Structure 1
């Protein structure tokens, strides 16, 4: 009976060692996955934005969108109204 118990104990210790090794291996793999995800995320972020030295970065200013054009027209209208008001006969002397 003692031999059987010692054999069972030896089997349990072996299984416990294997479980410990598997746990450590799982932790290592989890750490590697997190590092790979972080690396992938960083590479995706850096690849999305063009360099300020490249023409693609400045393309939005060279070729404005329809919203930008509409805002510029509104701004031009407001500037024209402000200048007309400033150069009117009653405000001209204050403007200069």
Structure 2
């Protein structure tokens, strides 16, 4: 019975990270793309207006978040390959010995 609880304890973590990174990051990217089209005219094919400035700021924030998470994931893979781990003790992630 103890093995089942350990397996389910690990399974919910895999499910949570899968939802966050597997569906969450593409959703944030899609939100950024959608916010870029905020304020543009969709009904007319000949005239287009400039995107709304707030939509552009939201898009930049969404894209920056996606890029930061992707780079942190790559850094984690690189650190574990070199026998190190990532420390977030300071603001920026750094490689430290295990």
Question: How high is the TM-score relative to the length of structure 2?
Answer: 0.34
Task: Write 1 or 2 for the structure with the bigger share of helix.
Answer: 1
The higher radius of gyration belongs to 1
Task: Write 1 or 2 for the structure with the bigger share of strand.
Answer: 2
